[in-house]
Structure 1
Amino acid sequence: MRRFSMIIDGQTVDTDTHFDVVSPRDGSVVGQAPQGTPEHLDRAVAAANAAFKTWSKTPDDERRAACEQVAAKLAEHAEELAQLLTAEQGKPLNGMGSRFELGGAQAWAGHTASLSLDPKVLQDDNEGRVELHRKPIGVVGSITPWNWPLMIAIWHIVPALRTGNTVVIKPSPYTPLSTLRMVELFNEFLPRGVLNVVTCDDVTVNLGAAMSSHPGIRKMVFTGSTPTGRKVFASAAETMKRLTLELGGNDAGIVLPDADPTEIAEGLFWGAFINNGQTCAAMKRLYVHDDIYDAVCEALTDYARTVKAGPDEEAVLGPIANKMQFDKVARLIEGAKTKGRVLLGGEPGEGMYYGPTLIADLDDDDPLVTEEQFGPVLPILRYSDIDDAVARANDSENGLGGSVWSKDIEKAKEIALRLECGSAWINKHGAIQPNAPFGGVKQSGFGVEFGDEGLSEYTDIQTLLV
């Protein structure tokens, strides 16, 4: 069993104490992560600030090349990182599991490396010239979650480096090992202090709270729950940090009466159950028109029965990633079983395993509908009037994503544009891509990621008037 180290100022840093990282697959200890302290965070921030003075002045083509090296290093060590990720997070290696995540991380790194934010000329006439320049902010603090640890880390790290910022990253205590190793690999070619990683168990020590209030950090990027995002928002106010917050979602899907239940069943399933439902932009509620409600329930159940879940190597759905989340999912399912009709699943397996669960005939005020379950269960609800379905879909404090399923694409687009969410899909759900801005409205987030719009979030604007 390996005992991992933090990376600060380009050097491995050992600590006096460590905490165990436990596999949700079998409860075994898969490694030990360093128990960082506020002093370690201060050292990391100081190193990042010192590195910023030179990294921010590095020519654009050199920063591009460094980000391309990130993608190359991920490809070179993809299997090693995937194995480590499966050990600590529990997702299978195959299907949409750890190897899929490493492929996504490489794709995002490569695309982001290709982006640039050139100065814009806003005016150039006899009255003068006005230019808009984008400049790096400083030290970026990154806090990442346990569901897609490496891919989301890349979403935070690469645009920060591409725009001339330096980074201090803190991964979730449930999944710190793969991030520690990844940062170690990147420090083989990055200048010292440009990318630093600190870890803690969030119980004995909580460096995340210290990061969001730290005066040496100029921007925070956080992906996680809305309650924690509110805390980051509040503690960042004292130092007026720039913020990008990608928070919880309770995404709704709406199936129109002209849809073919058999044709859409596979897309509906993976829209809800990708990564075992542990995805912010997964579909969490499904509204189906009366005319095809029973047919959709049947087709979705039939498809779900074909999906292999469990501890076997050929399974494409693994365990719930930690006990806290397992208990929440189990609570919501038990409550829903007393009110709805269980089409599939509804009973826990061994350890942290819970098979795909479909529950029909629930009401809008049932907790499984109103709360973000973040697990392998989907509530299915009836509607008869499309205006009512849209209103019910929008009746949430969240607004991350939504989808409409129909053979009539123009009609579906019209309805999708009425959904109060940052991303809307037609005949699919949760399919994000590196060239399309992604972010939430209402309490699902602040700012966007990906593409030019996401890259610009890592810069300050300076207007130059000549």
Structure 2
Amino acid sequence: MALDIINPATKKTYKTIQVSILDDVNNAVERAKVAFKEWSEKSHEERSAALHNVANAIEKAGPELAEIVTAEQGKPLFLAQFEVGGAVGWTHYNADLKLEPEVLEDSAERRVEVHRMPVGVVASITPWNWPLMIAIWHIMPALRAGNSVVIKPSSLTPINTLRLVDIINEHTVPNLVQAVIGEREVGEPLVSHPDVKKVVFTGSTPVGKHIASLVAGDLKKVTLELGGNDAGIVLENANIDKIAEKIFMTSFVNMGQTCACLKRLYVHRSKYEALCDALVKIAAAQVVGNGMQEGVTFGPVQNVNQYEKVKAMITDARESGAEVIAADLPSGLDGYFIAPTIIKNPQHNIDVVCHEQFGPVLPVIPYDDLNDVMSKAIHEEFALGGSVWGEPCAELDWVVDQLDSGTVWVNNHAEVLPHVPFGGNKSSGLGVEFGMEGLLENTVRKVINRAK
């Protein structure tokens, strides 16, 4: 069956590709098993050198990859170039990670070492918001540990992943990474396949829980990076001139389509109007349009379903009495465009506050009492990220202690780094990615206990 890949800036078909069938899934896993045997027998030095070569090849293909990302995902070209740069840097970082034995005891009685072994074939399922970067996050630590990978990218943004797979296989061993294309009818047999030994998924919490149920019976290893509804708290002593630009960027990066974006902003009433005015001004300065056009800073929402969801949230906020502020869109646009939108004084029980919007809209909520607002900021279900904004003080430290998310940022948000473990608490995830912790999630432990 043919699948049309739609450019969200034009609503026109960018590419047409074939959807995978069950035989394709089984064949991909079988090829990955064969490649795993060859790859896992290579030394750490050989794997490291190969991944450095992959990183260099990604960098060389950077202009092509960035244009693909913009065409199928919608983000402005400069942001797609940033995504490619991140992919290069993340690959080099993983290539340099060491997997050396850990000596737990070396005494007169015994020597005890912990060795880390690859798990085998890893199944990866990636979303449409950062299609190249998240594929790198899944694939590179798996390869560095000695595994092979079968990846199912989002069927909305698969073209860059197919190109990435070609690059990786050219510089490692044949068929080390395989790609299958489709929806649930492909994803379920992939993660359930008996020869798949580990699953890594980035996406929504309901799908993540379903994947966990599918793999539980086989006790497969699983890493899940799931949804969030990240809160930021602006303290009474905050300097608005210092933080406004960063708050906007960490709320609206990638048109707000980032799991770790700041999605609810609580501002002390004494600073509320000043910060809202600053955010509205920054939003109005964005150049909304097709990401391939020079000067564009703000692209479309990636797909029609997400577009309609976010528009419905904005309508609901307006009808509930909140003030909705957004600049008019330029004339002539025919994609899934929503101008960056600030929602002032929303009720706390409306959709755009209670649920992850995953789009270019930010509810800004005034507060008077920090204890009261903390009870609202801490979400019952999600705990991916959270932040506090202000000058150093006891209140700031108290907020850091109270926030229960996987990452707490101070005067920042949504920053992820290759050497810093990242993952959510509660229903926002299971396990971590990045750094040595993330690498070890792609291994199994073998303890060697030698009596003397």
Give yes or no for TM over 0.5: yes
Counterpart amino acid of residue 309 in structure 2: K
Counterparts of 2:153 and 2:416 in 1: how far apart (Å)? 22
After the TM superposition, which residues 199-214 of structure 1 pair with which residues of structure 2 at under 5 Å, given as runs? Answer: 199-200=181-182, 202=183, 206-214=185-193
Structure 1 counterpart SS, 2:342: strand
Aligned to 2:148: 166
Residue 283 of structure 2 is aligned to residue 304 of structure 1: yes
Aligned to 2:250: 271
Aligned to 2:305: 324
Residue 405 of structure 2 is aligned to residue 418 of structure 1: no
> Structure 2: which 5+ residue stretches go unaligned?
none
Counterpart amino acid of residue 106 in structure 1: V
Structure 2 counterpart SS, 1:291: helix
Counterparts of 1:302 and 1:426 in 2: how far apart (Å)? 24
- CA drift at 1:63: 0.5
CA contact (8 A) 1:142 1:169 kept: yes
After the TM superposition, which residues 74-93 of structure 1 pair with which residues of structure 2 at under 5 Å, given as runs? Answer: 74-93=58-77
Aligned to 1:7: none
| Normalised TM-score (structure 1) | 0.93
Distance change >3 Å, CA 282–CA 409, structure 1 → 2: farther
Counterparts of 1:409 and 1:159 in 2: how far apart (Å)? 39
1:20-47 per-residue CA deviation (whole Å, 9 max, x = no partner) reads: 1111010111111221111111011011
Structure 2 counterpart SS, 1:283: coil
Structure 1 counterpart SS, 2:170: coil
| Normalised TM-score (structure 2) | 0.96
CA contact (8 A) 1:347 1:354 kept: no
Aligned to 1:14: none
- CA drift at 1:410: 6.2
After the TM superposition, which residues 136-285 of structure 1 pair with which residues of structure 2 at under 5 Å, given as runs? Answer: 136-200=118-182, 202=183, 206-285=185-264
CA contact (8 A) 2:155 2:181 kept: yes
Aligned residues: 445
Counterpart amino acid of residue 301 in structure 2: I
Q: What RMSD, in angstroms, separates the aligned Cα atoms of the two structures?
A: 1.5
- CA drift at 1:300: 1.5
1:246-282 per-residue CA deviation (whole Å, 9 max, x = no partner) reads: 0111000000000112221101101100000000000
CA contact (8 A) 1:282 1:429 kept: yes
Distance change >3 Å, CA 346–CA 225, structure 1 → 2: farther
CA contact (8 A) 1:333 1:346 kept: no
Counterparts of 1:118 and 1:414 in 2: how far apart (Å)? 39
1:337-380 per-residue CA deviation (whole Å, 9 max, x = no partner) reads: 12243352187774300000000111221111111000000001
Counterparts of 2:307 and 2:24 in 1: how far apart (Å)? 32
Query: Could you tell me which of 404, 409, 414 is aligned with 2:388?
Result: 404
Structure 1 counterpart SS, 2:232: strand
CA contact (8 A) 2:318 2:324 kept: no
Query: Could you tell me which of 38, 43, 65 is aligned with 1:59?
Result: 43
Structure 2 counterpart SS, 1:416: helix
Counterparts of 1:324 and 1:346 in 2: how far apart (Å)? 22
- CA drift at 1:325: 0.5
After the TM superposition, which residues 80-119 of structure 1 pair with which residues of structure 2 at under 5 Å, given as runs? Answer: 80-94=64-78, 97-119=79-101
Counterpart amino acid of residue 324 in structure 1: N
> Structure 1: which 5+ residue stretches go unaligned?
1-16
